[in-house]
Amino acid sequence: PSPLAPAPKLVIDLERLSQLPKDKAGPLARYAATIQSQRGDYNGKVLSIRQEDLRSLAVIYDKSPVELTEEFISWGVLDAEARRAVESF
């Protein structure tokens, strides 16, 4: 990719997240809720998060960022574009 291409974004689908069972989605749901509260951003259907946040979430879920990204894609919480966002990890 060109060095001038925009960085791919990590965009959480909040509607999908709210439909998932708590045992899976609980930690991500709490993390997203904390970011929403820090930003005062409550009305979105989606939430853009930092690349760095995926590292923190990977520690929480005890997986590598790449593995966790695949899991979130399989849940429908991230779209396939997110793969490109973790390529640089």
User: What residue ranges bind ligand C2E (CB under 6 A)?
Assistant: 7, 9, 11, 35, 38-39, 41, 44, 46-51, 53
Query: What CA–CA distance (Å, rounded) separates 67 from 9?
Result: 17
Strands 46-49 and 10-13: antiparallel
Decide whether 11 or 78 has the Cβ nearer to ligand C2E: 11
CB of 39 to ligand C2E, least distance (A): 4
Residue 43 phi, psi (nearest 5): -105, 5
Kindly give, in sequence order, each residue whose CB lies less than 8 Å from that of residue 5, ignoring residues fewer than 6 positions away: none
Residue nearest to ligand C2E (CB): 44
CB of 54 to ligand C2E, least distance (A): 9
